[in-house]
Amino acid sequence: MSASIIDGAMIAADVRKSVAAAASALKAKHGAAPELAVLLVGEDPASQVYVRSKVKQTEEAGMRSHHLTLPADATQAQVIEKVRALSADKNVDGILVQLPLPKHIDEQAVLAALDPDKDVDGLTEVSAGRLVLGKPGLRPCTPAGSVILAKRTTPDLAGAHCVVVGRSILVGKPAALLFLAENCTVTLAHSKTKDLPGLCRSADILVAAIGRPEMIKGDWVKPGGMVIDVGINRVPASTPGKTKLVGDVAYAEAKEVAGAITPVPGGVGPMTIACLLRNTVLAACARRGWEVPAALG
Ligand code: NDP
């Protein structure tokens, strides 16, 4: 039997709707909607597309957005100064520094200048520490979105064996910690893991965050298990000269074995910005001492 498809586009739209309801409730109660500042350094076309999309979706959710740009040749000191200014600006609730930064700028040094209470990407050392310690804080968006997708399918994940393949700071490590916080038994796999297919087959929840097109085959999937495919890989399409997006999981094979699976595109991808907007509301409430609106769930 074919797996049920976890519709990330629909679930992300639900999250955005709940964010819009929460933003509207906050505006009615406190006279101000949360504000997200997005800083883009340089003119990388892909980053410009991402930033435009973030700004548009922030405004569609009824929040204020504040879009700043610096030229590609801005110095590290100038970028840090801008991040410090946004951190000190009492009207700004969330700050997103669009990555990657130009090569001459040390991303860690820039992130270190960011107020962790405004770190809506969840990338600062303080945010990472809060996640490890299980303290309240802003969680990285893509892993948080992956957990929301899993919980829409199985609300109580306790006791499930979750295998996360990939141990990056951005996705794999925080995903492992977030599934652990849901009381899963977590195994974190990587390029040196032995018998990866066998390990994957033992996963009730298999999270693929590798960056290798369709590496996880259908017979690596536990029959009836859940597959969350974080991978986004551009590969040649069957039409010459065209490309298409595929995940890290061989979707056509895996969906014949899994109980539930996220597609690529339309799975984890749309959840990232939705969780960014959600984090902006959470950041505004935490720093301004506002109660989190019930609409946010
Ligand atoms: P990284 O390249 O930073 O990390 C990849 C991880 O996969 C590493 O930990 C690496 O292990 C592991 N890996 C690589 N090859 C193998 C292998 N043969 N067997 C087992 N493990 C392996 O990637 P990211 O975490 O940044 O991204 C992962 C994927 O997620 C990419 O496709 C990316 O495009 C996508 N992505 C999607 C997002 C979204 O949906 N919005 C957001 C961010 C990323 P090791 O550490 O041992 O080298």
Q: What is the pLDDT of residues 79-93, one digit of tens each?
A: 999 999 999 999 999
The amino acid occupying position 259 is: G
Measure the CA–CA gap between 189 and 262, rounded to whole angstroms. 20
pTM, rounded to two decimals:
0.97
Task: Indicate if ligand 1 lies below 6 Å from the C-beta of 269.
Answer: yes
Q: Which atom of ligand 1 is nearest to the CA of 247?
A: 32
Mean pLDDT along residues 91-112: 97
Count Cβ atoms below 10 Å from residue 229 Cβ, excluding itself.
29
Instruction: Go through the domains of the chain in sequence order and give each one's CATH number.
Output: 30-120 (3.40.50.10860), 141-268 (3.40.50.720)
Whether 54 is catalytic is: yes
Whether 135 is catalytic is: no
Q: What is the pLDDT of residues 154-209, one digit of tens each?
A: 999 999 999 999 999 999 999 999 999 999 999 999 999 999 999 999 999 999 99
Q: Which atom of ligand 1 is nearest to the CA of 211?
A: 32
Count Cβ atoms below 10 Å from residue 234 Cβ, excluding itself.
10
Ligand 1 centroid distance, CA of 153 (Å): 24
Count Cβ atoms below 10 Å from residue 182 Cβ, excluding itself.
18
Measure the CA–CA gap between 143 and 165, rounded to whole angstroms. 12
DSSP string, 164-180: EE---TTTHHHHHHHHH
Tokens of 37: 């500042």
Stated as kind and residue range, the H or E segment containing 281 is: helix 269-288
Task: Give the pLDDT of residue 297.
Answer: 77
Strand partners, 119: 95
- CA 266 to the chain's CA centroid: 14
